[in-house]
Structure 1
Amino acid sequence: MFRVLKHNEDSETGEAMNTSTEEVAVSRKVYARLVWFLVLMFICSYLDRINMSFAALSMNRDLGLTATSFGIAGSVFYLAYVVAEIPSNLAMQRLGARLWIPRIMITWGLASAACMFATGPSSLYVFRALVGLAEAGFMPGVLLYLTYWFPEAYRARASTLFIMAQPITILFGSSLSGALLEMNGFMGLAGWRWLFLIEGVPSIALGIVAFFYLDNRPSDAKWLSDEEKVILRRTLERDEERLAKLSGHTTLEKRSLGSQIFSAPVVLLALCYFGLVMSLNTNSTWVPQIVHGLIPHASLFHVGLIAAIPSLVAIVAMTYWGAHSDRRGERAWHVVIPMCVAALGWLGVALLGTPSLRFVGLILSSCGTFAAQAIFWTLAPRYLSESARPVGIAAINVVGMIGTAAAPAIVGVLHDLTGGFRAGLGFVAISAVAGAACIVAIRFSRHRVSYSDAAEHLAR
């Protein structure tokens, strides 16, 4: 996974990113200890987030949900998530990941399982809002947590594996959710109620384990030797010094929080993420119903299996793309290209008439969306000081979550108005292209404008 990179040039900054054998060894040890566990946690998180899309295959009928009301239920989750996002990240910074991340997991597991008690649209909205409030801060909190442990040269692969939890969850969650729906009538409960109950329990259990497993910082890790802690601290400090050097005489730490959050690169990153999560949310919310429309006579279990195929391909694509980004030391175009691929995929689903070709479009949209998201989160630390990252990363994610809150309702309303997914998916494709254009703007602006503030110098 990791190897020594001698004088590997970061094409975003033009700076050399040298690594030693000792640094590689420590990074491998940290990777083996943390990343797979974080992936498992994110799988539970994402499973509790997307199970609504599978529950809808029978829940919508039982609760009398239209496409619009189902979309609103998704939007309510993300609106609640947005409200609690920045406070949650600040709480993690204050209380530490070892306490705060387990709290998030246990409470969202309880809230997700409680969705089994929904009796109609209104009660479903309440339960999904509680899930959003409980889960807020998990993903940006973990992405911030990764910056405490991984140097820049390895961060794309670490964040790629973490983000890979999403397609992994869709991959096995599709078949699992389809099987749970087949439990319809067991002990007098509808299949979708069993789905919420059974898929909420692992988050609670893993949250308890996380309290004993995670460490707040490398200095707290008993599984690292004193020498390994020194090597890792020195490597991380070198990264910060490199960023400070690029900022000229004014370091990021000397700039106010507001000036960093509202600098041009950070604002453009937030707008990019808005477009990216429109695609991400559509993938997680509507794909089962799109697949069901392509094969209307298939069983719910088979719909789940087929809906998992795009995610399987995306896992392979993400693995290659994250490693390729680290080897090249390039980030921006590794976000732009897959976002454009995702847009092309959604247009294919919307406009092509043959089911097999539309399914290829789903595969392209899945690969592009997840590959872009994994690399995207390596960009933010370049434009934010260490003290500003908890708020900055959360703020970028909040803007994205606003898009995520809007996406289910927009696609749902357009579906009800037009009788199909064509208009909604066209809107998603345009959003993805607009997001890619924001990254291009960051890259293009460095050739046109002489920046004076530190964050803008980092775009050079």
Structure 2
Amino acid sequence: MTTNTVEHSDDGLHTRATRKAMLRLIPLLCGIYFLSFIDRTNVALAKAHLAADLGISAAAYGLGAGIFFLGYALLEVPSNLIAHRIGPRRWIARIAVTWGALSAGMMFVQGEWSFYTLRVLLGIAEAGLFPALMYMVTLWFAPKDRAVAVGWIYTAPALALIIGNPIGIGLMQLDGIAGLHGWQWMFLLEGLPTVVIGVILYFILPDRPTDVKWLTAEESRSLEAHAVIDAHGHAHLFSGDWVSALKRPTTLCISLIYFLNQIAFVGLYFFTPSIVSQMHVKSPVLLAMLSSSVGFGFLVGVMLLPRIHRRMQSDCVYLGILTAGQVVAALAFISTSNEGAQIALLAAAGFFGGGVLPSYWSIAMKRLHGVQAAAGLAFINTIGLLGGFVGPYLFGLAETASGKSSTGFYVILAAAVLGLVMIPMLARAIRTEGQPLASGDSTAAIRGSGVTPDYQG
């Protein structure tokens, strides 16, 4: 049998195994991320009620909405290092149980300080979830497939923004039952299911391909071989020196660009219900539908853009186009007073601001592997989470100063322009470090060097 025939046979085996993993693993990752997004963003629907019932102002709400991300950021890197050590399955299940309980505990908010405290604790409980999901992607999927895999995972928060608003508003119609406010019912009934799902995940979520029976032994080996980048001549990629991953220019540049993106995008989805309600929308059903416009744009973006990215030769040109799109969307929103056009531009902002997210992670994953992937991806997410704190806080200050939630689009514009300025710096960092090897080359090198994946289950 010729070498080309062997390579073709392995490609077919890997393609089949990847398809199976996409069908069986990705829904589990999507499910838990969907619930996390419901539980972290449902506070946006409660904003007006928290003001009316507890006297929490727009600025205090913005601080509380964003302070979640400070608690999250504090433990992001150590949390993902634990996931690397004990396996993502156990750690993701623990995260889900604790954050679900605290999300339900939001029903006990009494004022600003209890609001801040529970939001910080919720962030601490959820710390490490998203980078743990990204780390699982590096264990299961080849570099060429990761943008699509991450794109599928990002459909979860997009759907949460679409479905979560109607569900949350529906639950708030229970107002007065058993002496509880509607927002209290919403927090309780959206938090408790997460605890149950976390327990279930402990038993059914696999850590790596060799843990499952729905793959053959050959398919498991093929997935793991293609997922691991070449270590021949690059032993540092699999060393315990995870700190070096945090110092790499590409890691730092991607972190800063992601930080700016999160200022804009997180601020947008936390304040969209307020923006829509100030368009004189009185019907709860219509408010829920129109507030979902960002989610619809986000969903289209994560379904379409990663597939376009896979066909682009330059990562940075691609990022530049999408970031410029966000600049144009923000300028257009600021320039028009037509409410129909503004709803469409909310969707456009979701498309560009959310649709680009899988590509950030795909670019980072090409250059971070083994324990460095666990640390580096967590570090990038930590910096992004700081943007998640800054964004809602700036949106809250803008609304307090102007009386209009829509003035937050000036924050989006400024963040997008700065992100556009950062992209040439990322391109320079990538050129300095050199391009990563293709997955096919890495597979051959791994076989030749006898290296096994740097993972301890």
Is the TM value for this pair above 0.5? yes
Partner of 2:248: 263
How far is 1:459 from its partner?
A: 7.6
| 1:405 equivalent in structure 2 | 389
Query: Does the 8 A contact of 1:446 with 1:459 survive in 2?
Result: no
C-alpha contact (below 8 Å) 1:81/1:133 kept by paired residues: yes
Displacement of 1:444 in angstroms is 4.5
Q: Which of 256, 271, 277 lines up with 2:262 in the alignment?
A: 277
- The separation in 2 between residues aligned to 1:102 and 1:257, in whole angstroms, is 24
Alignment of 1:280-291 (within 5 A): 280-291=265-276
State the match for 1:100 in structure 2.
Answer: 91
Q: Is the 8 A contact 2:243 2:375 kept in 1?
A: no
Per-residue Cα deviation, 1:245-273 (whole angstroms, up to 9, x for no partner): 7xx87864469433331121111011001
Deviation of 1:329 (Å): 5.8
Identify the residue that residue 137 of structure 2 maps to in structure 1.
146
**Secondary structure of the corresponding residue to residue 119 of structure 1:** coil
| Correspondence 1:26 to 2:21 | no
Q: Distance in 1 between matches of 2:234 and 2:180?
A: 66
For residues 400 and 359 of structure 1, what CA distance do their matches in structure 2 show?
Answer: 26
1:266 maps to amino acid: T
Structure 1, residues 130-169: CA drift from partner, whole Å, max 9, x if none?
A: 1111111101110111110011111111100101111110
Per-residue deviation, 1:319: 1.2
Deviation at 1:312?
2.1
Partner of 2:443: none
- Partners of 1:41 and 1:65 in 2: CA distance: 30
Cα distance, 1:445 vs structure 2? 5.5
Change in 2 beyond 3 A, CA 1:137/1:446: closer
Q: State how 1:170-249 maps to structure 2 within 5 Å.
A: 170-237=161-228, 240-241=229-230
Unpaired runs of at least 5, structure 2: 438-457
Q: Aligned equivalents of 1:113 and 1:128: distance in 2?
A: 12
Q: Distance in 2 between matches of 1:351 and 1:193?
A: 38
Letter in 2 for 1:118: V
Higher alpha-carbon deviation: 224-233 or 250-259:
250-259
CA RMSD of aligned residues (A): 2.4
In structure 1, the gaps of 5 or more residues are 1-5, 7-16
Alignment correspondent of 1:457 = 434
Q: How is 1:50-61 mapped onto 2 (pairs within 5 angstroms)?
A: 50-61=41-52
Structure-1 residue corresponding to 2:107: 116
Report deviation, 1:440: 3.0
Q: Is the 8 A contact 1:349 1:361 kept in 2?
A: yes
Q: Does 1:336 align with 2:327?
A: no
Q: Which amino acid aligns with 2:412?
A: V
Query: Given that residues 218 and 229 in structure 1 are in contact (C-alpha distance below 8 angstroms), is that contact kept between their aligned partners in structure 2?
Result: yes
Please give the alpha-carbon distance, in whole angstroms, between the structure 2 residues aligned to 1:174 and 1:109.
18
- Matching of residue 166 in structure 1 with residue 151 in structure 2: no
Aligned residues: 432
- Tell me the amino acid that sits aligned with residue 417 of structure 1: A
CA distance in 1 between counterparts of 2:155 and 2:314 reads 20
Q: Which residue of 2 aligns with 1:91?
A: 82
| Cα distance in 2 for residues equivalent to 1:232 and 1:351 | 50
Match of 1:391 in 2: 375
Specify which of 353, 359, 366 is matched with residue 337 of structure 2: 353
Q: CA deviation at 1:64?
A: 0.2
The one-character-per-residue Cα deviations of 1:344-384 (angstroms, maximum 9, x if unpaired) are: 22333333211112212201100011110121110112222
- Shift of the 327–394 alpha-carbon distance from structure 1 to 2, 3 Å rule, reads same
Cα distance in 2 for residues equivalent to 1:84 and 1:446: 28
C-alpha distance in 2 between matches for 1:459 and 1:350: 40
1:362 and 2:346 matched: yes
Contact 2:97–2:199, Cα closer than 8 Å, also in 1: yes
Once residues 399 and 249 of structure 1 are traced to their aligned partners in structure 2, the CA distance between those partners, rounded to angstroms, is 27
3-state SS, counterpart of residue 222 of structure 1:
coil
In the alignment, is the contact (CA less than 8 A) between 1:270 and 1:399 conserved in 2? yes
- Scaled by the length of structure 2, what TM-score is found? 0.89
User: Which residue of 128, 131, 156 maps to 2:147?
Assistant: 156
Distance 1:281 1:342 in 2: 14
| Alpha-carbon distance between aligned partners in 1 of 2:386 and 2:24, rounded to the nearest angstrom | 33
Note if contact 1:336-1:437 (Cα within 8 Å) is conserved in structure 2: no
Per-residue CA deviation, residues 274-300 of structure 1 (Å, 9 max, x unaligned), is: 011112211220001001111x24222
Q: Tell me the distance in 2 between the aligned counterparts of 1:320 and 1:270.
A: 23
Matched, 1:316 2:293: no
Residue 419 of structure 1: CA displacement?
2.2
SS class of match (1:377): helix
Question: Aligned equivalents of 1:429 and 1:19: distance in 2?
Answer: 47
Task: Go from structure 1 to structure 2 and tell me whether the alpha carbon gap of 1:180 and 1:250 turns closer, same or farther (over 3 Å shift).
Answer: closer
What is the Cα deviation at residue 330 of structure 1?
5.1
Q: Give me the whole-angstrom Cα distance separating, in 1, the residues matched to 2:382 and 2:423.
A: 18
Q: Residue 393 of structure 1 aligns to which amino acid in structure 2?
A: L
Match of 1:127 in 2: 118
Distance of aligned partners of 1:218 and 1:297 in 2 relative to their CA distance in 1, 3 Å threshold: closer
Aligned 8 A contact 1:98 1:215 in 2: yes
Q: Give the Cα–Cα distance (whole angstroms) in 1 for the partners of residues 82 and 236 of structure 2.
A: 26
Structure 2 counterpart of 1:48: 39
Q: State the Cα distance separating 1:52 from its structure 2 match.
A: 0.5
CA distance in 2, matches of 1:313, 1:395: 27
Q: Which moved more, 1:322-331 or 1:305-314?
A: 322-331
| Contact kept in structure 2, 1:331 and 1:378, CA below 8 Å | no
2:251 is matched by which residue type in structure 1?
V
Correspondence for 1:72: 63
Q: 2:415 aligns with which of 392, 415, 431?
A: 431
In 2, Cα distance between the equivalents of 1:113 and 1:317?
31
Q: Would the alpha carbon gap of residues 445 and 158 (structure 1) be closer, same or farther in structure 2, given more than 3 Å must change?
A: closer
C-alpha separation in 1, matches of 2:234 and 2:289: 56
Q: Give the C-alpha shift of residue 422 in structure 1.
A: 5.1
Shift of 1:406: 1.3
| Residue pair 1:338, 1:367 contacting (<8 A) in 2 also | no
Would the aligned equivalents of 1:345 and 1:360 in 2 still touch at CA under 8 Å? no
Q: Distance in 2 between matches of 1:342 and 1:112?
A: 32
- Indicate the SS of the match to 1:378: helix
Contact kept in structure 1, 2:264 and 2:411, CA below 8 Å: no
| 2:425 aligned residue | 441
